[in-house]
Structures are given as C-alpha cells and as structure tokens.
A = this chain, B = another copy of it.
Amino acid sequence: MLAPVKFAEFVDTNADKFIQRLADAVAIPSVSGDPAHREDVVKMAHYLNSQLISLGVTTELRDLGKHVMDGQELSLPPAILGRIGDDPKKKTILIYGHFDVQPANKSDGWDTEPFKLTVHSKTGRLIGRGSTDDKGPILGWLNVLEAHKSLGLDLPVNLRFCFEGMEESGSEGLDELILGEVKKEKEGWFYGVDCVCISDNYWLNDRTPCLTYGLRGITYFQITVQGPARDLHSGMFGRTVHEPMTDLIALMGKLVAPDGKILITGIDEMVPAADEEEKTLYTSLDYSIADVEDAVGGQIAISADKVTVLMGRMRMPSLSLHDIEGGAGARTVIPAKVTGKFSIRLVPPQTPEKVDPLVVKYLEAEFAKLNSKSTLTIECSPGGKPWVADIKHWNYEAAIKATQAVYKQQPDLTREGGSIPVTLTFAKSLGVNILLLPMGRGDDGAHSTNEKLDRSNFIEGTKLLGTYLYEAAAIPA
C-alpha cells in the first residue's frame, strides 16, 4: 500500500511551517546534563505534550522521580507516553525519541547561535543543537500526525509514543518506566505493540539512506598492578624490584594487535565467520576507506579492504585501551600502583557474562607468565549486550520499501559499532522486532559544534516516516 499522494504533497507544501516548528523546538535549550537547564527540559516536555494533544494523541506526562547531579538533588524531566489509534485490525508501532540535547555554547566553536535554528540559504542545512539529535526526528513524527489530521486521513497503523528527556544523561528512569509498563500488560501503554521504530542514529555516509539492524554491546575492564608500598626512586630501586608499570604494560600489550585482532583466547573465535550472503551486504554498502579516513582525520584505516574495515566496526568485537592511571609525573619515579583501563565492544553471540571470564582467565595466565611478584587485581564492569535484528522481518521490509519509494534508492543495511541502550530494553521486555530508522546523515555532527540536519533529510525524512507506516500496514504480518 503506497502512502496517498496527497500526504507527500502536504509535507512539501508545509515544509516551511515544519521548519518553523523545528526552530521553536531548538530554541528551548533542553540540555539534560546541566542542572541550570533542567527547567528547559521540562519546558520542552510540556511543549511536545501540547503538540501531541493538539494532534489527537492521548498522552501522559510521567514523573520519573528525583536524582542527584553535580551534588544537587533534581527532579527528572517527565517522559511522555502517547497513544493514537486502537483498531485491533491494524498493526501497532511504538515510536521512541528523546527531546533532550547535548550542551552547546557558541564559544565552543559554533558559527551560529546553537539554540537559534539557522537555515543556510545555499546548502539548505538546518543548523542548531538538537536539529538532528533528536528533535528533528521527533518532529518528523509530529509532521506525519499533522498531515493526517489536516487531510482528514486515518493513520494506517496504531501508534504508541515513548519520548524521554534524559537520553544524553544516561536515560535515568527509563528502564524502570518501560519494564513497569510491560508488566502492566493490558493496562500498560505498550500493550499490543507489534514492533518498534527508533530514529536516533545516522546514515553511514552523507549520500545513502540506511536502516540499522545491529548494535555492539560493551564490557569494561580495569586492571591494577601493585608492588611496593609507596612510589620508589628509580635510582635507588631500578633493576632491584619488580616494577608495576613494566608488568601492566606487558599485560596490556597482550590484549590486542595493532591491526585490531583481539589476542585474548576465545574472544574473536566466538564470532562465526560471515557467509557469502552476509559479506555481500558489506560489499554493497556505500562506504569507502576514504570515508573512514576523512571522518577520523588521518590515513589510519586498519585495512585497505572496505569489507574488513566495515566488518571491524559492525560485526566484529573490538578492544580499545583507554588509559593507564597512577603513572609518575617525575621522570625519576617508579610508580607503586598503576591501573589500566580497556573495554571490549561485543557482537552476538558475545555477552559480558560469556566474555568476562575468558578475559579474566587470560589476564591471569599471561600475568603468571611474567613471573612477577607484583599483585594483579581485575575488575569487570559489564556494560550491555549486543543486539541484532532479523532484517527479513516485515518491519525492515516496510522500511526498505518506504526508502525506495521516497528516496528512489536502495537503503544501506548497517550495524553500528556503538550502543543505544534503550534498544536492548525494548528488545528484551517487548520481544518484538526493532528497527533503527535514521533521519540524518553521517556528517550531521550530532554531539559536535554546528550540528545540522539537512532540509531534505527533514522533509523527505518526514515522508519516509509516514510512508513506512503505510508499507508496514500493507505487509501481512
């Protein structure tokens, strides 16, 4: 089922009005990480809530309690739960988004005022904090609702909304909210949800729309080597005692090869090799070594082979060494106790529960080989599991068809190297297919200065969201 032609026409005709709404939203500096802006996050919640109500959505502003930030006890901004449509013959899709933003000051290097949406006349870029992350996508959904209301069209599916105001600050209170609602079953806001759609990531590049079907998990490690009771003078004790820094660096040097291969026994091996069909997915992605090297500002890709690099980011685990703490500023000192920090990004079937014991066992075995008399302690902090969706599900089929219809392009099917924790929470608690359907491009600079959303991504993206609903409605479940 194609979306009605008049829907797309309405979106084009009302583009300037939609952009004005984005400007209104950007003007509210809803920075969740700054106590001084907490009231602005609340204001943003009320602003969105009124808009939803005026567009026919039944809502609840849910109080999430209090928390402590920078030593102050603060009320968390409310989450917004919403419902429109209750037709048992229609599919029900849950939409997630966040209305808080990262901090921004003009003095950070912005060319324009970050909380004043600037429309660049030549490029059509909509520049402002939150334009792409994540106010633009949320407003895309409001645009879809407004088009249907104005045109007197019924929505093709039932919609549920879950918008939060703490995503940039650890999504405090959100997991409890979601798990609580799921537990309520019929009485909960998420009852009957058939799939989830999250617009909070980006295209792989600045050219080709994409759908994202996987995220890596993460597990963190902190290893400490301790020797003497206090820092020692290297003249007095150099080559006399085992030095903790020597042992720690020897140990950390055994974790990962310069080409990214993880040396810990059993970690890389846990991941099945990609078959030919899967490799084709990576070959077909619109991405080049130049893209990655442009993004990082250096000719440092681990391979000249695009598939190796893309699989390194999307479907292989990675181990990064972050820091060594406790070193001596003075160049005559043997530090008594040093701590190394590293983390491993995980892909299925890896989980912190499966990986952590292998890491501990390996570290202990390698440390034993050093024959050092220092003491090793290992701390594991499980982050989150990886997530991969079934891309043959109707949820993805609908998004692919919608992309073809709106952008006249085949979308890239990507996995992300990072994590979006709410995805895991929904996956685990609802047990339904989840689609990550980005609106913005890879160069939007979500957490950077001069964050932008291209006008075409906002307008065509609004069409994409609406069209996706029609395609989803049309496919037999």
Contacts and interface: CB of A to CB of B under 8 A. Distances in A.
A227 B418 CA distance: 20
A371 B259 CA distance: 8
Contacts of A242: 258-259, 300-302
A228 interface: yes
A299 to B, nearest CB: 6
A321 interface: yes
B258 A370 contact: yes
A249 B253 CA distance: 6
A298 B370 contact: no
B298 A237 contact: no
7 contacts: A228-B296, A238-B260, A238-B313, A238-B320, A239-B260, A240-B302, A249-B324
Chain B CB within 10 Å, residue with most, of A245, A327, A331, A371: A331
A247 interface: yes
Interface stretch (A123-131, A173-181, A332-340): A332-340
Interface of A: 216, 218, 220, 227-230, 232-243, 245-247, 249-250, 252-254, 256-260, 292, 295-302, 309, 312-313, 316-325, 327-335, 341, 343, 345, 370-374, 416-419
B301 A240 contact: yes
Given A220-B331, A299-B373, A321 B259 contact: no
Contacts of A328: 322-323
Contacts of A235: 216, 218, 345, 416-419
Given A236-B416, A240-B312, 19 more contacts: A228-B297, A236-B417, A238-B319, A238-B320, A239-B317, A240-B302, A240-B318, A241-B292, A241-B300, A242-B300, A245-B320, A245-B323, A258-B370, A322-B328, A322-B330, A323-B324, A323-B328, A331-B341, A332-B343
